[in-house]
Amino acid sequence: MLAYFTKRLLVLIPVWLGIITLTFLMRAIVPGDPVENMFFGKGGDPKVIQNIRVEMGLDRPLYEQYFKYLWDVSHGDLGKSINTRRYVIDEIGDRYMKTIILAFSSLGVALTVGLVLGIMAALFKNTIIDTSMTVLALIGLSMPAFWLGLLFINLFAVQLRWISIVGPPDFPHLILPSLTLGLIYAAVLMRLVRSSLLEVLSQDYIRTAKSKGLATRKVMTRHALKNALIPVVTILGLQFGGLLGGAFVVENVFVWPGLGQLIVRAISQRDFPVIQGIVLLVSTTYVVVNLLVDVLYHQLDPRITARKGAS
């Protein structure tokens, strides 16, 4: 297990270097100077612009800028915001944790709803229940997150007045954003759980367990469900990446104080260090989550170890 984890960790080193390189090139490939772009049409003082350029190292050759950026990032320094002159890590602050909380709570909703509906659809294959679950999944897949969020605001906050969307970022104000994002991705998981479970239920060992008189509940929990969840675990890493991207949209719909609002403001103000910091941090989070998913997959599927030993 430790050897597998170490191997996967070593593989991530060039991936992380690639992320840093692409993040750095975001600033390099944009036409014009980042500082001048920020002051475009505002009549900024040329001396102030030049001082900021020197402070950010933009007066140096590109390769020197890259190696300095690589050194700073490896030491936790993401630079300073052009607009506020604060360190980017301070600008991001607890906004990052609020985005992560929203993403994981949405993942919890997606897993819960997707598993329940997928199991129901598989157990009642080719019935009205299965058809209903399929229709719900198709609706969820075709529903944009911002549109579903607006529907939830109108229904639960405006019409029924069950939940207020104005207030501190506490648990009650997390409910609607989590449901909005989670229900959309639950549709994907529901279809995957259904197809995976139907495939497992058709295996010989399942029929043997049923012929021995085991109850359906025991067959499902002890034999079928664990093996059916292996493909679900595989896709969780990809799902989490989508959840992080979707969280940016949902945060702006529900005024959730995460990275979504910050990056929209940074883009409108052309604040490249903040944009780079958010992209780098979110990408690194995505890579780490996929590493954890790989480890979990390794634990659930003993065939990986068996193939490794055979080779």
Please give the CATH topology (third level) of the domain spanning 94-268. MetI-like fold (1.10.3720)
The residue type found at 59 is: D
Q: What are the residues facing 80 on neighbouring strands? A: 87
Of 216, 244, 224, 233, the residue nearest 114 (C-alpha)? 233
The residue type found at 56 is: M
Q: What are the residues facing 87 on neighbouring strands? A: 80
CA torsion through residues 269, 270, 271, 276, sign = positive
pLDDT at residue number 41: 55
Of 187, 177, 174, the residue nearest 139 (C-alpha)? 187
**Domain map (residue ranges) of the chain:** 1-83+270-311, 94-268
Rounded Cα gap, residues 298 and 230, in angstroms = 10
Rounded Cα gap, residues 159 and 175, in angstroms = 17
pLDDT at residue number 212: 77
Of 266, 302, 279, 240, the residue nearest 100 (C-alpha)? 240
pLDDT (tens place) for every residue of the chain, 311 residues total: 677 778 877 888 888 889 889 888 887 777 666 677 666 655 567 787 778 778 777 778 888 888 888 888 888 888 888 778 888 888 888 788 999 899 889 999 999 998 888 888 888 888 998 888 888 888 888 888 888 888 988 888 888 888 877 766 778 888 899 999 998 888 888 888 888 888 887 877 777 777 777 777 777 777 777 777 777 877 877 788 888 888 888 888 888 888 888 888 888 877 888 888 998 988 888 888 888 887 777 776 655 554 444 44
Judged by DSSP in three states, 87 sits in strand
Of 197, 202, 163, the residue nearest 179 (C-alpha)? 163
